[in-house]
Amino acid sequence: MLRLYDTRSRQLEPIVPANARVLRMYTCGPTVYRYAHVGNLRSYLLSDLIRRVLEQHRVRSVVCQNITDVGHLVDDEEIDPTGEDKVLQQARREGRSALEIARFYEDAFRRDTSALNMRTPEHTPRATETIGLMIDLITKLIEMGHAYAVDDGSVFFDARSFPTYGEISGNRLDALKPGHRVEGVDPRKRFHADWALWKGSDREMTWETPWGRGFPGWHIECSAMSLRFLGEHIDIHTGGKDLRFPHHEDERAQSNASVGHDVVKHWVHGEHVLFDGRKMAKSTGNVVLLSDVEAAGLDPLAVRLAFLEHRYRQQLNLTWDTLHAADRTLRRWRQRVAEWAESPSEPIAAAYADRVQTAFDDDLDTPTALRVLRELERDETVSPGSRLETFLHLDHVLGLDLAVDIGKPPVVPVLPPGAAELLEARAQARAATDWAASDRLRDELASLGVKVIDTAEGQTWS
């Protein structure tokens, strides 16, 4: 049985779907105004791993992942009707319409998740196409006394009407400090911790409602979509650690208040990704896209493998060295699998498979699973056919396309023109201890795309 760390209960809990054979899972999707960087993509691997592990237990998943194409402000702490929407801001920068921007980056996101072998969710509703759901939910919350409209057409959720607010993040209402704008605490709110369900405005991308024209707040879309596409009982809700507060606290309050009970059974959050020890950001110049990885000659699934080397709840520090190492491991495993496929197939190595499955079930302990696989790779007492079947069986969870080279002729590396002569000259230079010439020739070889490594047995190349 799969066990996951529940952020709300702060302990490992067994995952038992309300429906014995179908698990319902919601995962917060992208705001489509720019390319997703590799740090963003790690969050979506979490739900993919959960569904793949559950498939090993013959449990099917129904997943809903929203597309935020309106309503996410540049600064979501500011409930300001003049606040700029991220999609609109990018549209202005690129000289395209908001719809063109949203669809372009949504398509790019889908290409990236496909390249990382992430399963397509069953439901991917867009915010702009589900405004009616949000209006209906806000109307219901107003009627139930959980929300109130103000003169400018905005609607706020009454935070004090939901007594268990803060159970996910630990941020209790009585301890929250008021947020301040230039003119002080927002006078439209009854309580400083109330948040906007709807923002009155007559800017672009707005809609008419019973309380006035405007656009939805960021949090309401996830409540409306999850309730519509998954129902009032959702087994797992995933997202990045940064979404615990305020997004998931607000979403939980909205959903629960509307139906009168806990909608989500388990809240599961993934940790952040750093690159070269720093948070990915344009300001620091270390944003890495999946296209950058491919441009460096690496398989995009090397990113997936690098993610699997760390547990989803561990902060991960990616570097180009770790990505290159993951790429080498990926290519080696594919080569070994292709070699083993030349031998007769034999039953799975049950002892190894059980250890890996135990690691998967233990809060997605993928680092341990990979260590067991490396152990199996080296274990010559296990037949090639058995190792083949075990690797392929476990790849249903790993998602690394380990069978991709089966049946392909072996790749024989070919030196570019002139490289053989340079290698010979370098070998002679090293024999003569002419290190300056050796280094110069290494650089010339690198310019041709040939990497040289010196070993105790002499130089090797790739």
Question: Are residues 427 and 319 located together in one domain of the fold?
Answer: no
Q: pLDDT, tens digit, for every residue of 132-164?
A: 999 999 999 999 999 999 999 999 999 999 999
Mean pLDDT of the chain: 92
The verdict on residue 405 lying in a domain is: no
Query: What's the number of domains the chain is made of?
Result: 3
| Residue 261 labelled as part of a binding site | no
Domain boundary among 270, 295, 318: 270
Is-contact 238 46, C-beta < 8 A?
Answer: yes
Cα(333)–Cα(327) distance, rounded to whole angstroms? 10
The verdict on residue 412 lying in a domain is: no
Domain boundary among 237, 270, 303: 270
Per-position DSSP letters for 23-79, written without gaps between them? EEEEE---B-SSPPBHHHHHHHHHHHHHHHHHHHTT-EEEEEE-BB-SS-BSSTT--
Question: Are residues 306 and 388 located together in one domain of the fold?
Answer: yes
Cα(367)–Cα(145) distance, rounded to whole angstroms? 48
Across the 462 residues of the chain, what is the mean pLDDT of every consecutive 10-residue run? 97 92 95 93 96 96 95 54 72 87 95 97 97 98 98 95 95 74 71 93 90 93 98 97 94 98 98 90 83 96 98 95 96 95 95 98 98 97 97 98 86 81 90 91 89 83 84
The CA-to-CA distance between both ends of the chain, in Å, stands at: 44
Q: Is the dihedral of CA 223, 228, 229, 232 positive or negative?
A: positive
Cα(403)–Cα(9) distance, rounded to whole angstroms? 40
Q: Can you give the pTM of this predicted structure?
A: 0.86
Question: Are residues 105 and 214 located together in one domain of the fold?
Answer: yes
| pLDDT > 70 in the chain, percent | 95
Q: Is the peptide bond before 416 cis (omega within 30 degrees of 0)?
A: no
pLDDT at 417: 87
| Residue 28 labelled as part of a binding site | yes
The verdict on residue 414 lying in a domain is: no
410's torsion region: left (phi>0), alpha (psi -120 to 50) or beta?
Answer: beta
Torsion of CA 283, 288, 291, 293, to 10 degrees: 150
The verdict on residue 143 lying in a domain is: yes
Question: Are residues 93 and 215 located together in one domain of the fold?
Answer: yes
The verdict on residue 327 lying in a domain is: yes
The verdict on residue 64 lying in a domain is: yes
Question: Are residues 212 and 285 located together in one domain of the fold?
Answer: no
Question: Are residues 47 and 169 located together in one domain of the fold?
Answer: yes
| Residue 247 labelled as part of a binding site | yes
CA 35 from centre of chain = 13
Question: Are residues 108 and 253 located together in one domain of the fold?
Answer: yes
pLDDT at 372: 98
Question: Are residues 348 and 245 located together in one domain of the fold?
Answer: no
Question: Are residues 181 and 63 located together in one domain of the fold?
Answer: yes
pLDDT at 83: 60
pLDDT at 205: 87
Q: Which residue has the tokens 């013959």?
A: 58
Question: Are residues 143 and 262 located together in one domain of the fold?
Answer: yes
Q: Where in the sequence is the domain holding 300, given as residue range(s)?
A: 277-398
The verdict on residue 409 lying in a domain is: no
Question: Are residues 335 and 285 located together in one domain of the fold?
Answer: yes
pLDDT at 412: 65
Domain boundary among 226, 250, 270: 270
Question: Are residues 246 and 308 located together in one domain of the fold?
Answer: no
Q: pLDDT, tens digit, for every residue of 88-132?
A: 888 888 988 888 999 999 999 999 999 999 999 999 999 999 999
Domain holding 97: CATH number? 3.40.50.620
pLDDT at 410: 65
The verdict on residue 370 lying in a domain is: yes
